[in-house]
Amino acid sequence: MKFLNLTRRTEIGANSYYLEIDSHRLVLDCGMHPKNTGEDALPYLKAIAGRDIEAILISHAHQDHIGTLPVVMRRFPRARVFMTEATAEVGSVLLHNSVNVMTRQREEIGEAAYPLFTHRETDRASDRWRWCPLRQRISIAGERAPQRERDALTFEFFEAGHVLGSTGILVRAEGKTVFYTGDVNFDDQTIMQAAVFPEERIDVLIMECTRGDHAKPEGWSRPGEEQRFAAALGSAFERGACVLIPVFALGKTQEILAMLYKFRRQRLLGDFPIYIGGLSSKFTDIYDRRAHMTRRQLSRLQLMREVAPFILNDETIRDAPVRPGRAYVLSSGMMIPNTLSNVFARRLIENPQHSIFFVGYANPESPAGVLREAGTGGEVALDPGKSPQRVRCDIEQFQFSAHATRETLIEYARKISPRKIVLVHGDPPAVEWIRAQLHTDLPNTDVIVPVPGVEVEL
Ligand SMILES: [Zn+2]
Ligand SMILES: [Zn+2]
């Protein structure tokens, strides 16, 4: 078996991994980097140029896992592409949105390579995706394989509890097994239910490390954190605040809307206007449409109907009133320049009356990471093209990550006790903590931090 990390650095960038098993050549995920632009936003595809890729397996439809799929399909036209039906539905919306963003950026940042793919190419690509049911062995030809198939290559998707459609992928061939976690959560969220991952013998575990540098805070529980969040919103509104909550359009938006719905039902908060962006509303529609066929909590909740958020776009965000008692649940989660959360934050951060609540992961170098670090009293340039601003608004943080705690990652690795573990999808301190911990806990397991672009024999 061979493994090649196609991410350009040890970081949460454009996730993509090459796996060779029993002379089959596969690619796991093909993300787009959240901050890099142009060719640098792509995975390092040169490292596998000329190899005959048979299949591309997509774990879920976040930008950092599916964002460059049309490009990768163009470079490897023979490859079959597999994902869950929900990921396909969300992914196609995400990629079309990405074409629009790149087309705009072509002018804004002078990136001549943009768009990296077109609407037409996205349509043609998504026509070729094959939808896989969960917990079913699939052959490379895309057919259901017998559950006892041992020799021929098969793969099987397991629910990862991260966002709608998210999976971990088990690849089997010649009696060998490789399991890729994708992005996982082993705990319930407000909508998503915890991952259901394989517990059979696994030879190689390819594991995400997002939260490796964060210890679970003493006494933290999700219900407790929800209560704290409701109380903070209540006191911010009492103070006359408008509250901005930067979120990912897929996953965190719907989790927060579901929480706001619960707070209203439990009479923790009254009725107040809620705003979301256009892309978030499209993903929320998909959550609603698929509610009854998804293993989830609040399976009858129709967010668009019952929470009834107002929808903003790139134009209306510029003059949407910053009024007391409103919640703006806006993407992007990392507050990338020119996104709704970035534009809106620049309008309120100098006013001590208002609040920004962070609710999940942000790359430390992203505007959200920089703002969180600066805190009230600091100075930040949320948009490099504009002058820095003094942060006077209230800034609070809540822990509603869609990723597994490092404690539960270690617990899973210990339960499986694989021969090798490959650590991916983490910033260097996160990967290092997990590596050291596994080294102590599983002395007989070979723990590998794959250097980007360097092939590893598994
Ligand atoms: Zn993700
Ligand atoms: Zn990810």
Peptide bond into 115 cis (omega under 30): yes
Q: Locate tokens 């964060």: which residue? A: 214
Is the whole model's pTM more than 0.75, yes or no?
A: yes
Cα 377 to ligand 2 centroid, rounded to whole Å: 31
Q: Locate tokens 């060779």: which residue? A: 20
- CB distance 185 to 375 below 8 Å: no
pLDDT at 154: 96
Cα 430 to ligand 2 centroid, rounded to whole Å: 14
Kindly report, residue by residue over 191-205, the tens digit of the pLDDT.
Answer: 999 999 999 999 999
Cα 190 to ligand 2 centroid, rounded to whole Å: 19
Cα 316 to ligand 1 centroid, rounded to whole Å: 28
- CB distance 422 to 222 below 8 Å: no
- CB distance 43 to 68 below 8 Å: yes
Cα 14 to ligand 2 centroid, rounded to whole Å: 9
Instruction: Give me the residues of the chain with pLDDT under 70, please.
Output: none
Q: Where are the alpha helices (DSSP H) in 199-251?
A: 222-238
Q: How are beta strands 327-330 and 274-277 bridged, if at all?
A: parallel
Ligand nearest to the CA of 363: 2
Cα 424 to ligand 1 centroid, rounded to whole Å: 13
pLDDT at 326: 97
pLDDT at 109: 86
- Structural tokens at position 58: 């997509």
Kindly report, residue by residue over 403-457, the tens digit of the pLDDT.
Answer: 999 999 999 999 999 999 999 999 999 999 999 999 999 999 999 999 999 999 9
- Which protein residues have a CB closer than 5 Å to ligand 1 (ion)? 62, 183
Q: How are beta strands 16-21 and 24-30 bridged, if at all?
A: antiparallel
Task: Name beta bridge partners: 144.
Answer: 138
Kindly report, residue by residue over 200-246, the tens digit of the pLDDT.
Answer: 999 999 999 999 999 988 899 999 999 999 999 999 999 999 999 99
d(CA 172, CA 277): 41
Tell which residue, 298, 347, 300, has the closest CA to residue 320. 347
pLDDT at 417: 97
pLDDT at 364: 85
Write the secondary structure of 269-327 as one string of H (helix), E (strand) and C (coil). Answer: CCCCCEEEEHHHHHHHHHHHHCHHHCCECCCCCCHHHHCCCEEECCCHHHCCCCCCCCE
